[in-house]
Every structure is written in C-alpha cells, then in structure tokens.
Amino acid sequence: MRAAIAVIAGDGIGPEVTVEAVRVLLTVGQRYRHEFVLSEVPFGGVAIDLHGDPLPAETLAACREADAILLGAIGGPKWSSPQARVRPESGLLRLRKELGLYANLRPVSVHPALRGVSTLRPEVVEGVDLLFVRELTGGIYFGAKSRDAARASDLCEYSAAEIERIVRVAARIARTRRRRLLSIDKSNVLETSRLWREVCERVMRAEFPDVQLEHMLVDSAAMNLLRRPREIDVAVTENMFGDILTDEASMLCGSLGLLPSASLGEGKRGLYEPIHGSAPDIAGQGIANPYGAILSVALLLRHSLQLAAEARAVELAVHRAIGDGVRTPDIAAPGHRPATTRAAGDAVIAALGGAG
C-alpha cells in the first residue's frame, strides 16, 4: 500500500526517538512492500521559534492531508515560563481538537523481563495487560478559561454525545479483549461525572450487554491501579483523569519511555505518540528510550493503515529486543551496560529481519 505519514519530531528527546521510529517504519515498508511517503513538519517549541506558533497553518494542513501523524514529544523549559505567551502544549491540544481525535488509547503491558524494573513488587505487576481509553477533546482541558490577578477559572464541561462516543470506542475494544469495562469518574462530587455515569450505563445496557461494566471513583481507581492492576482490562475515563492515571499506570511497566499511544477520531486518520514528554534533562545524549515511539508505529500500522500483521511484527520485535537485554538506562538491568537509543532501534530492526 501507499500511505502519507506526517512526521513531527518535536522538542527535547522527540527527534532522537522519532528517528528510530521512522527507521522501523521504513524497514516495515521494505519488508512488506509498502510505500510510506514521509513529510517532516515543524510543531511545538521548534515551531514557536520558527513561526511564533506551535501549530503553524502549513503543519496543520500537512497533518490533515496525511493518513497518519507520527509525533515524538514537545515542550521544554525554554517555552514554559509562567509568562510565556504561547506554549507548545497549546499546539498539541489544538491539533487534537482540529482533527477531531477524541479517543486516546494507551495500552500498558508488562514485559516478563521487566518485572523487576517497576517500583512496585514483581508479583503485583506481572501479567498486567490493560488499556486506557482517555477522552481527549473535552472536559476541563477545553472549557472556558479566565484569569485575573486574584482569581482563575477552568470550566469542565461534557455533552452526552461526547460521552457516548468515547464509551462506544472503549466498549468495542473491550469486546475484542476480556469483555470488561471499567468506567472511572468522580460522580460523588462532579455533575459532569454524574452525566458520564448515566450515559455510560445507558450505552452499555442498550448496545453492549455482553461487556461487563464496572464504575469506580477516580481516587479509588488510582489506588486499585497500584493494588490490583491485573484485574483491569479496559478503562475509560475523561480527559484529565486519563492524563493523570496513565502516567501512574506507566510505572507498572517501569518506565514512561515504554508506552505508546494512539489518538483517533471518526475516520482512519490518527496521531501516534509515545506518552512520555520531551525530557530536556537527557536530550541530545542518545540515551532516551525509543520503544514507546516504536510501539506507536505499531499502533499507526494497526489503526490508521489496517496493517495488523505488520503491527504485530513490530510489537514482537520490540518484545524480542527487550527480551534480548537491549535496554536503555531507564529500564537497564542492574550490572548490565545500558543500551543507547540507536542500539535499541537497531535491535528492533534486526528482529524485524531488516538491515536498517
């Protein structure tokens, strides 16, 4: 097949991990005879420096035209002083909103070789395989904001339609897994959560009677995520709860650097990015973990290009590279020399049977 991919390397470690992800994508292209046409576009802090705007019009246009967007990471101290007029993050929120990417999938699974890497006990994290479905274009992130010297406000709003569609995405995926859906809210306090719970109940009863639904308050979910993470199959939640809980969930597998994400809308086009940030403290050293970015390529192949076998091959190649001990400093085994970003990319490419 032929597919157009917009590539956004971004800031900090973004370029380093994206290079490896792109090499893996091109290897898949060679091995399986697909033509991936890449166009690199400026976005985030880099774009603020170049154009005074984190999401320049040409970048947005290129993203709209692409079949999928691969993103590294954005942000950094240079653009985040409290006085900053424009921030890289606002570009990311606009991009998600403009493209209607309301469903953010964040899978978390623990590689057997990395049981000991988590700060939690190995027997707690062993066998964890869960998926967060985070609502991505509503809630407090997008409500009206106001600010004066003595007061600030961020409005949290959800419509029934926004809740319905995200619950459907999560329930459809749950059907392909263990048929269990955990809906996380704060309905003992928030009106938006009470609506969330009602709509969720209604959609599930009418359309997904075969999927077992459980509700949990977000505070309790934060605790259970650390206490009994294996029991979670698919979890669906609103924008900000999902942001917070997925960083927490990443610690189950030991490093934020391992986790990919897919942001999807109604069509096939999606935005794929590791969930980690730009990590300015380690940028430029060649030691960032590229596996989250590479696994994002797998999600891109699966969800935007419908190349399930290729997606699986990339996941297995990462699995194998980690199993063979190719581990960047964040997940390194005690007493072993940590791998560089490039070495990790090389190991995945070798496992895919490509020369790189």
Site for ligand IPM in 61-80 (CB under 6 A): 75
Say how far residue 169 (Cα) sits from the centre of its chain: 16
What mask, x for binding ligand IPM by CB under 6 A, covers residues 197 to 236? ----------------------------------------
Between CA 276 and CA 4 the distance in angstroms is 25
Q: What φ, ψ does residue 289 adopt, rounded to 5°?
A: -80, 115
Dmax over CA atoms of the chain, in Å, equals 61
Return the number of the residue (28 or 136) whose C-beta is nearest Mg ion: 136
Q: Reply yes or no on whether 346 is catalytic.
A: no
Q: Is residue 11 close enough to count as binding ligand IPM by CB under 6 A?
A: no
Give the footprint of ligand IPM on residues 255-294 (CB under 6 A). Answer: 275
Q: Which of the residues 210, 219, 281, 324 is marked catalytic?
A: 219
Q: Which two tokens stand for residue 109?
A: 């699974």
Length of the chain in residues, anyone? 356
CB of 40 to Mg ion, least distance (A): 24
Handedness of CA 159, 164, 170, 173 (dihedral sign): negative
User: Is 69 or 326 the residue whose CB approaches ligand IPM more closely?
Assistant: 69
The verdict on whether 78 is a catalytic residue reads no
Catalytic residue among 11, 67, 102, 186: 186
Contact between 208 and 171 (Cβ < 8 Å): yes
Q: Which is nearer to ligand IPM, 92 or 300 (CB)?
A: 92
> Considering only residues 89, 238, 315, 330, which one is a binding residue for ligand IPM as defined by CB under 6 A?
89
Q: Give the residue at shortest CB distance from ligand IPM.
A: 89
The C-alpha atoms of residue 356 and residue 344 are separated, in whole angstroms, by 12
243 vs 346 by CB, closer to Mg ion: 243
- Residue 92 as a binder of ligand IPM (CB under 6 A): the answer is yes
Neighbours of 157 (CB within 10 A): 14
Shortest reach from residue 247's CB to Mg ion, in Å: 6
Choose the catalytic residue: 53, 129, 154, 247: 247
Q: What residues contact 106, with CB distance under 8 A and at least 6 apart?
A: 131, 132, 133, 134, 242, 246, 249, 259, 260, 261, 275
CB atoms inside a 10 Å sphere around CB 173: 19
**What is the Cα–Cα distance from 249 to 226, expressed in whole angstroms?**
8
Q: Name the catalytic one among 185, 233, 243, 346.
A: 243
Displacement of CA 113 from its chain's centroid (Å): 22
Does the active-site annotation cover 219? yes
3-class secondary structure per residue, 133-199:
EEECCCHHHCCCEEECCCCEEECCCCCHHHHHHHHHHHHHHHHCCCCEEEEEECCCCCHHHHHHHHH
Nearer to ligand IPM, 261 or 341 (CB): 261
**One of 11, 67, 141, 346 is an active-site residue; which one?**
141
Q: How near is the Cβ of 131 to ligand IPM at its closest, in Å? A: 15
**Chain contacts with Mg ion (rule: CB under 5 A):** 243
Which of the choices Mg ion, ligand IPM, none does residue 25 contact, using the CB cut-off of 5 to 8 A by kind? none
Helix (H) or strand (E) holding 5: strand 2-10
Annotation marks residue 243 as catalytic: yes
The verdict on 17 binding ligand IPM (CB under 6 A) reads: no
Q: Residues with Cβ < 8 Å from 51, sequence gap 6 or more?
A: 42
Residue 48 near residue 79, CB atoms below 8 Å: yes
Is 32 an active-site residue? no
346 binds, among Mg ion, ligand IPM, none (CB under 5 to 8 A by kind): none
Nearer to Mg ion, 29 or 260 (CB): 260
- Measured from the CB atom, the residue of 278 and 340 that comes closer to ligand IPM is 278
With CB under 6 A as the contact rule, the residue among 238, 243, 315, 346 that binds ligand IPM is 243
Q: Which residue numbers are catalytic? A: 141, 186, 219, 243, 247
> Which spans of this chain sit near ligand IPM (rule: CB under 6 A)?
75, 89, 92, 243, 275
